[in-house]
């Protein structure tokens, strides 16, 4: 509030006046309430004192009656006269137990104890309260509140007459915390008993107060001035109204302190105080409102123009300016409104170009990065999770190349609509980063939520998409990262989502969650890739050959060529570490052609030695995408003089599905050349029987995962059995790879599998090693045949 403004000055005067009036009323009311509360406390204490004395009187009467009964008992009087201490003590204890007395004593005429229920050995000791005997001498009974061994008791003394007084019966109740709490229940006041030994300070002997307030009472009683014999209200521990009730004023005075909480007494009036406070606030609000309404007619038009200009300066064009006056200010307001419309229109066009993808209408990369940054800033203080997903379409390039960019654009628009339908929240964001790459932001999304949404997106994209009479089959790969576990900034999250997405694409998993080890592995692969480019040139690639055995004849006339990279520093690098990355980068083309050339050359060398071996070579999706691939193989076969039937090509199902029509055309050309074809890793890809029956293949290779698990897992055995039957019914040879033990080998024989391959039969060997293995295998087969004959 600026004081130089008229509206501020009017509001300030109204508010100050209202505050002064309300403060005066509040203070006066508070004083009256406090006075009334204290008067109520005094009345409550006075009433409590009367109740308290009634309770003491009731206890005294109960003790008198019990003591009189035992004093009048003939047997008891006879025992007293005969000084039969055992009978006396038994009679005292029995009568005391009837009324739950805590102390029962018999006092002789000499003022000494004859018997004491607490301590039989105390006989002969002086009675603690000789003054009580003096009072009893003049009447039938008397009572006292006294302290015995630091503990207060309510005592009565009754004479034992036969017919003259021969002794006195003393009987009493102990006054402890339990008794104090019972009295509090009756009197509705806290009850404390205090005493002051001769020459000492006041001490709390029993109390119904909690420990902390009991300690405060004891401290206060030691410093307070207490007038003996005069019951009165006093000020002791803070927060309580107190009243002293004198019980004994002998050499060790005893008093009861009755107390009640001032807070409890004030409680009924607090609602009134709260109401007054709310009325004060309401008065201030009404004052401000009144001041504002009074000044608005003078200052509103200019203030409205000022605020409008400030809103435009901040970029807020939502609310129009409204001036009811019909004068020069209204004309100025109209000019301001036109200016707002023009600026808003221009900024909307600029924002649309800068932040919206023109093709799909989704936020673009810049907008997504800003949304992600804002989401990170909101989630960072509480480390709340948020999910980022990176989605890349599979086979989109094929759609563009075959159907044209127009169909590709329409496909992207349809994909965007399906992705938006899969995100549930209003704060979730789907953006197109460029090309066929999309990003999804899920503020507050945990890993499970992200996985469910990713699965829904994959399922949505599996449904056929019809664009201008073209049925377009697309799929996607999705990478998932979670803030803050996988990264704390925009750059890290997007980069790692990219890593996870490429892993999903590489493994055909559909979606993949970011794994830190995968990123390290990716960096390692980049390093290897730069070195792989020189591997062929420097002769670091080697071909190894693994035997395949005919299970019917035990002949070995077929090997599979497997590439290995013998790195000069790293040693042997497994194919799984460089082949997938080479496929993604396109370098697999050079590797495949080198492998084919080396395998065909070795095949020619073996045949020249009289070793009739066929060789299998693995073929990638990129090889099948090359239109000249059959021509390259034909040239190599002709160059080395190798018959086409000696060469087998092993193609994975996933490689065929990238572009089925083109792949089948290439396979037809290879088949016409006479080259044998095999479907590798059958059962793990995406092909259907409709494609399989159109492919000119000669062999199915059952994936090693099913073969290795068939002995221990009945489900895997069923898959193997069904695949063998399927292959034979289609006229194909069936190969089982991954044979690791004799049991698996014999099971495959029983299932009539044609060919087996695995470590149990032979590991991948060099060309020379294969020749030696053939010799050993022939000897093993001959020995087995001889043993069977014997």
Confidence of residue 350 (pLDDT cuts 50, 70, 90): confident
User: Which of 725, 661, 735 minimizes the C-alpha distance to 694?
Assistant: 661
pLDDT reported for residue 41 = 74
- Is residue 41 within 8 A of residue 258, CB to CB? The reply is no
For residue 374, give the 3-state DSSP assignment. helix
Mean pLDDT, rounded, for 79-92: 75
User: Which of 654, 653, 634, 631 minimizes the C-alpha distance to 644?
Assistant: 634
Domain 39-272 has CATH 3.30.450.20: yes
Higher-pLDDT residue of 459 and 786 is 459
Using CA atoms, how far residue 5 sits from 2, 292, 299, 306, 311, in Å, is 6, 12, 9, 14, 21
Report the distance separating Cα 10 and Cα 20, nearest Å: 16
pLDDT of residue 590 exceeding 50, the answer is yes
Which superfamily is assigned to 356-514 in CATH? Reverse transcriptase/Diguanylate cyclase domain (3.30.70.270)
Neighbouring CB atoms inside 10 A of 521's CB total: 15
- Is residue 646 within 8 A of residue 636, CB to CB? The reply is no
pLDDT reported for residue 368 = 93
pLDDT reported for residue 687 = 47
Structure tokens at 718: 């069923």
Report the distance separating Cα 157 and Cα 175, nearest Å: 17
Report the distance separating Cα 710 and Cα 691, nearest Å: 27
Choose the most confident range, by mean pLDDT, from 321-335, 382-396, 573-587: 382-396
pLDDT reported for residue 686 = 46
Beta-bridge mates of residue 218: none
Beta-bridge mates of residue 241: 260
pLDDT reported for residue 674 = 95
pLDDT > 70: what percent of the chain?
A: 84
pLDDT of residue 739 exceeding 60, the answer is yes
**Tell me: the pLDDT tens digits for 699-723?**
999 988 899 988 887 888 999 999 9
What is the separation of C-alpha 545 from the centre of its chain, rounded to a whole number of angstroms? 53
Give the relative orientation of helices 6-72 and 74-81 as an angle to the nearest 10 degrees. Answer: 70
**Tell me: the pLDDT tens digits for 215-266?**
777 777 777 666 565 566 676 767 677 787 877 766 678 888 887 777 776 6
pLDDT of residue 442 exceeding 90, the answer is yes
pLDDT reported for residue 362 = 92
Q: What is the 3-state secondary structure (H, E, C) of 534-582?
A: CCCCCCCEEEEEEEEEECCCCCCCEEEEEEEEEECCCEEECHHHHHHHH
pLDDT of residue 297 exceeding 70, the answer is no
Confidence of residue 193 (pLDDT cuts 50, 70, 90): confident
Q: What is the DSSP string of 443-495?
A: ET--HHHHHHHHHHHHHHHHS-EEETTEEE--EEEEEEEEETTT-SSHHHHHH
Mean pLDDT of the chain: 81
pLDDT reported for residue 598 = 95
**Tell me: the pLDDT tens digits for 123-146?**
778 887 777 776 665 566 677 777
Angle at 544 between CA 540 and CA 545, to 5 degrees: 160
Higher-pLDDT residue of 261 and 434 is 434
Mean pLDDT, rounded, for 676-692: 70
pLDDT reported for residue 789 = 63
Confidence of residue 38 (pLDDT cuts 50, 70, 90): confident
Mean pLDDT, rounded, for 150-156: 81
Structure tokens at 262: 């001032």
Report the distance separating Cα 649 and Cα 671, nearest Å: 10
pLDDT of residue 195 exceeding 90, the answer is no
Length of the chain counted residue by residue: 790
Higher-pLDDT residue of 340 and 764 is 764
Higher-pLDDT residue of 369 and 88 is 369
pLDDT > 90: what percent of the chain?
A: 29
| For the chain, domain boundaries | 39-272, 356-514, 527-697+760-789
Least reliable range by pLDDT among 182-186, 318-322, 529-533: 318-322
For residue 434, give the 3-state DSSP assignment. strand
Pairing mode of beta strands 676-682, 647-652:
parallel
pLDDT of residue 107 exceeding 60, the answer is yes
Report the distance separating Cα 620 and Cα 636, nearest Å: 18
pLDDT of residue 428 exceeding 60, the answer is yes
Structure tokens at 466: 């019809």
pLDDT reported for residue 5 = 65
Strands laid side by side in the 203-207 sheet: 203-207, 190-195, 254-261, 240-248, 232-234
Would the pTM of this model clear 0.75, i.e. be above it?
A: no
pLDDT of residue 609 exceeding 90, the answer is yes
Report the distance separating Cα 213 and Cα 238, nearest Å: 9
pLDDT of residue 431 exceeding 90, the answer is yes
Q: In the CATH scheme, what is the code of domain 527-697+760-789?
A: 3.20.20.450
E strands along 688-746, which residues? 699-702, 733-737
pLDDT of residue 474 exceeding 60, the answer is yes
Report the distance separating Cα 551 and Cα 752, nearest Å: 8
**Tell me: the pLDDT tens digits for 367-425?**
999 999 999 999 999 889 999 999 998 878 777 777 888 888 999 999 999 999 999 87
pLDDT reported for residue 239 = 66
pLDDT reported for residue 765 = 93
């Amino acid at each position: 509030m600026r004081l130089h403004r008229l509206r501020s000055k009017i509001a300030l005067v109204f508010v100050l006046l209202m505050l002064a009036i309300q403060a005066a009323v509040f203070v006066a009311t508070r004083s009256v309430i406090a006075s009334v509360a204290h008067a109520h406390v005094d009345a409550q204490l006075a009433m409590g004192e009367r109740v308290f004395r009634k309770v003491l009187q009731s206890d005294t009467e109960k003790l008198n009656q019990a003591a009189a009964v035992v004093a009048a008992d003939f047997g008891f009087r006879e025992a007293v006269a005969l000084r039969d201490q055992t009978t006396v003590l038994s009679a005292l204890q029995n009568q005391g137990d009837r009324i739950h007395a805590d102390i029962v004593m018999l006092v002789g005429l000499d003022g000494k104890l004859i018997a004491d229920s607490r301590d039989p050995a105390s006989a002969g000791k002086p009675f603690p309260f000789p003054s009580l005997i003096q009072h009893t001498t003049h009447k039938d009974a008397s009572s006292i509140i006294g302290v015995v061994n630091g503990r207060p008791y309510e005592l009565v003394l009754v004479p034992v007459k036969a017919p003259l007084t021969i002794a006195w019966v003393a009987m009493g109740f102990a006054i402890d915390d339990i008794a104090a709490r019972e009295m509090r229940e009756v009197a509705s006041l806290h009850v404390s008993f205090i005493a002051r030994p001769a020459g000492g300070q006041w001490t709390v002997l029993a109390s119904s107060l909690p420990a902390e307030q009991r300690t405060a009472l004891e401290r206060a009683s030691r410093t307070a001035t207490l007038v003996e014999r005069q019951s009165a209200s006093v000020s002791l521990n803070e927060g309580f109204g107190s009243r002293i009730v004198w019980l004994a004023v002998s050499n060790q005075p005893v008093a009861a302190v009755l107390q009640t909480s001032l807070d409890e007494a004030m409680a009924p009036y607090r609602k009134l105080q709260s109401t007054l406070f709310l009325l004060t606030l309401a008065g201030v609000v009404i004052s401000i409102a009144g001041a504002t309404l009074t000044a608005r007619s003078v200052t509103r038009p200019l203030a409205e123009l000022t605020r409008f200009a400030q809103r435009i300066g901040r970029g807020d064009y939502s609310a129009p300016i409204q001036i009811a006056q019909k004068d020069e200010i209204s004309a100025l307001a109209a000019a301001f409104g036109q200016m707002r419309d023009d600026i808003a229109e221009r900024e909307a066009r600029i924002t649309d170009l800068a932040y919206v993808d023109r093709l799909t209408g989704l936020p673009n990369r810049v907008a997504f990065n800003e949304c992600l940054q804002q989401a990170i800033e909101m989630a960072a203080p509480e480390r709340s999770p948020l999910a980022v997903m990176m989605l890349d379409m599979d086979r989109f390039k094929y759609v563009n190349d075959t159907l044209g960019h127009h169909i590709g654009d329409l496909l992207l628009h349809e994909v965007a609509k399906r992705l938006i339908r899969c995100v549930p929240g209003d704060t979730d964001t789907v953006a197109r980063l460029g090309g066929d790459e999309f990003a999804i932001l899920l503020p507050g999304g945990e890993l499970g939520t992200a996985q469910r949404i990713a699965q829904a997106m994959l399922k949505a994209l599996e449904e056929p998409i019809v664009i201008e009479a073209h049925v377009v089959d697309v799929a996607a790969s999705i990478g998932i990262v979670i803030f803050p576990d996988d990264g704390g900034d925009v750059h890290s999250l997007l980069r790692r989502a990219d890593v996870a997405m490429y892993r999903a694409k590489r493994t055909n998993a559909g979606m993949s969650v970011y794994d830190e080890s995968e990123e390290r592995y990716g960096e390692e692969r980049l390093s290897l890739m730069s070195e792989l480019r020189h591997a062929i040139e420097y002769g670091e690639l080697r071909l190894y050959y693994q035997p395949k055995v005919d299970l019917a004849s035990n002949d070995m006339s077929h090997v599979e060529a497997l590439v290995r990279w013998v790195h000069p520093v790293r040693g042997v690098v497994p194919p799984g570490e460089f082949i997938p990355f080479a496929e993604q980068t396109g370098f697999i083309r050079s590797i495949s052609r080198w492998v084919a050339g080396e395998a065909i050359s070795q095949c020619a060398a073996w045949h020249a030695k009289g070793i009739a071996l066929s060789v299998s070579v693995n073929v990638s999706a990129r090889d099948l995408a090359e239109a000249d691939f059959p021509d390259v193989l034909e040239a190599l076969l002709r160059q080395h003089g190798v018959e086409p039937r000696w060469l087998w090509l092993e193609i994975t199902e996933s490689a065929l599905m990238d572009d089925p029509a083109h792949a089948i055309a290439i396979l037809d050309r290879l088949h016409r050349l006479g080259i044998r074809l095999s479907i590798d890793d059958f059962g793990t890809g995406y092909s259907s029987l409709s494609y399989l029956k159109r492919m000119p293949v000669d062999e199915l290779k059952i994936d090693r995962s099913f073969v290795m698990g068939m002995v221990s897992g009945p489900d895997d055995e069923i898959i193997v059995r069904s695949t063998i039957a399927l292959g034979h019914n289609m006229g194909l040879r069936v190969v089982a790879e991954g044979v690791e033990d004799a049991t698996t080998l014999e099971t495959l024989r029983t299932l009539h599998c044609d060919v087996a391959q695995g470590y149990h039969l032979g590991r991948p060997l060099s060309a020379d090693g294969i020749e030696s293995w053939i010799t050993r295998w022939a000897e093993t087969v001959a020995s087995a045949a001889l043993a069977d004959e014997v």
